Amino acid sequence: MSTPDDASGDGERDEAQDDAVAGAGAAKAKTDATPKQSKKAKKADKKGLFARFGLFLRQVMAELRKVIWPTRSELINYTTVVIIFVVVMALILAAYDFVFAKGVFFVFTK
């Protein structure tokens, strides 16, 4: 009975391992073969301000097309829940503030 370890131990490699080794060797050879670019060459490869801004806007629009927008009734429900939650939390914090203020005044006043 053979195990996955047996297959790799016999000197056999699967295709993913061969591709990884070949890719690493090719990347190393590529970096060794190409001379370092000068600062001017790197600057020339860089896109301009308006090109980068245009790319940004296209990417934003593409992401906004992927968004699942809520319906009007869902939006109203979500907004109501958030407003109620904020009001309840504000009341709880106000109550704590009142209780602690009274406690501080009780302890530190004569």
**Segment-wise mean pLDDT, segments of 10 residues, the chain, 110 residues:** 52 54 53 60 75 95 94 97 98 98 91
- The helix/strand/coil state of 37 is coil
Confidence at residue 47, expressed as pLDDT on a 0 to 100 scale: 82
d(CA 95, CA 87): 12
Could you tell me the two tokens for 48?
């301009």
d(CA 85, CA 82): 5
Evaluate whether 17 touches 24 at the Cβ level (below 8 Å). Answer: no
Confidence at residue 23, expressed as pLDDT on a 0 to 100 scale: 55
Other Cβ atoms closer than 10 A to 13: 13
Could you tell me the two tokens for 59?
């990417």
pTM assigned to the model: 0.45
d(CA 110, CA 108): 7
Confidence at residue 1, expressed as pLDDT on a 0 to 100 scale: 53
Give the CA radius of gyration of the chain: 32
